[in-house]
Amino acid sequence: MEIAKTYNSAQAEKTWYQYWLDNKFFKSTPDHRTPYTIVIPPPNVTGVLHMGHMLNNTIQDVLIRRARMLGFNACWVPGTDHASIATEAKVVALLKEQGINKADLSREDFLKHAWGWKEKYGGIILEQLKKLGASCDWDRTKFTMDEPMSEAVIDVFIDLYNKGNIYRGVRMVNWDPQGLTAVSDEEVIHKEAQSKLVYVKYQIEGSEEFITIATTRPETIMGDSAVCVNPTDERYTHLKGKNVIVPVVNRVVPIIFDEYVDKEFGTGTLKVTPAHDINDFNLGQKHKLQTIDVLNQNGTISEAAGAYVGMDRFACRKQIIKDLEEQGLVSKIEEIKNKVGYSERTNAVIEPRLSMQWFLKMENVSKPALDNVLNGEIKLIPDKFINTYKHWMENVHDWCISRQLWWGQRIPAWYDGQGNTVVAKTKEQAIALLKTDNVKQDEDVLDTWFSSWLWPITVFDPAVIRNGKANANADLNYYYPTNDLVTAPEILFFWVARMAIAGYEWMGEKPFSNVYLTGIVRDKLGRKMSKSLGNSPDPLDLIEKYGADGVRVGMLLCSPAGNDLMFDESYCEQGRNFANKVWNAFRLIAGFEVASSAVQSEAQKSAITWFDNKLSEQLEIINDHYSKYRMSDALMTTYKLVWDDFCAWYLEAIKPDFIDGKAQPIDKVTYDATTGYLESLLKIMHPWMPFITEEIWHLIKERDAKDCIIVAEWPAVKSDLDKKQLAEFEVSKELVAMVRNVRAQKQLSPKEKLEVIEKSEATRSYFDSTIIKLANLSAFSYTKDKVEGAFSFQIKTTEFYIPLAQNLNKEDEIERLTKELEYNKGFLKSVQIKLSNEKFVANAKPEIIASERKKESDALSKIKTLEEQLAVLN
Q: How many CA atoms lie within 13 A of 560 on its CB side?
A: 4
271 Cβ contact list (under 8 Å, min separation 6): 200, 202, 213, 215, 220, 221, 224, 227
Q: Where are the beta strands (DSSP E) in 220-378?
A: 226-229, 243-246, 251-257, 269-272, 330-343, 351-360
DSSP class of residue 481 equals S
Q: How does strand 565-566 pair with strand 210-215?
A: unpaired
Counting Cβ atoms within 10 Å, is residue 453 exposed (0-12), middle (13-18) or buried (19+)?
Answer: buried
b/e 694-705 (16+ beta carbons within 10 angstroms → b): bbbbbbbeeeee
Q: What are the strands, taking DSSP E only, across 391-500?
A: 399-400, 402-403, 413-415, 421-423, 440-441, 445-446, 482-487
Strands (E), 470-582: 482-487, 512-517, 521-522, 565-566
Residue 393 exposed, middle or buried by CB count within 10 Å (0-12, 13-18, 19+):
buried
Identity of residue 301 = I
Q: How far is CA 577 from CA 182, 415, 622, 689, 852, in A?
A: 50, 66, 21, 12, 39
Number of residues written out for the chain: 874
Could you give the CA distance from residue 400 to residue 732 in angstroms, rounded to a whole number? 67
Q: How far apart are CA 291 and CA 390, in angstroms?
A: 36
- Please report, for residues 35, 63, 78, 479, 557, the alpha-carbon distance to residue 380 in angstroms, rounded to integers and kept in the order given: 21, 16, 22, 20, 22
Check residue 841 and give its pLDDT: 86
- Cα 133–Cα 136–Cα 138 angle in degrees, nearest 5: 115
First to last CA, the chain: 62
**Contact of 242 with 209, CB cutoff 8 Å:** no
Contact 802, 756 (CB under 8 A): yes
Q: Which H or E run contains 611?
A: helix 602-627
Cβ-contact 425, 404 below 8 angstroms:
no
Which DSSP category does 209 fall into? -
CB 136 within 8 A of CB 26: yes
DSSP string, 702-748: ---TT--GGGSPPPPPPSS--HHHHHHHHHHHHHHHHHHHHHHHHT-
Question: How far apart are the C-alpha atoms of 405 and 444, rounded to whole Å?
Answer: 6
Per-residue pLDDT of 42-99, as tens digits, reads 999 988 888 889 999 999 999 999 999 999 999 999 999 999 988 998 899 999 999 9
Cα–Cα distance, 314 to 299 (Å, whole number): 9
Question: Within the chain, which residues score under 50 in pLDDT?
Answer: none
Which pLDDT score is estimated for 826? 92
* Contact (Cβ atoms closer than 8 angstroms) between residue 343 and residue 178: yes
Collapsing DSSP to helix, strand or coil, 699 comes out as helix
**Backbone CA torsion sign across 159, 161, 166, 169:** positive
Helix then strand count (H, E) for the chain reads 29, 31
Q: Tell me what pLDDT residue 171 has.
A: 84
- Coil vs helix vs strand at 750: coil
Name residues whose C-beta falls within 8 Å of residue 13's C-beta, 6 or more positions apart in sequence. 131, 133, 543, 547, 548, 691
Residue of 606, 638, 611 lying closest to 624 (CA atoms): 638
Spell out the residues 6+ positions from residue 845 whose beta carbon is closer than 8 angstroms to its own.
Answer: none
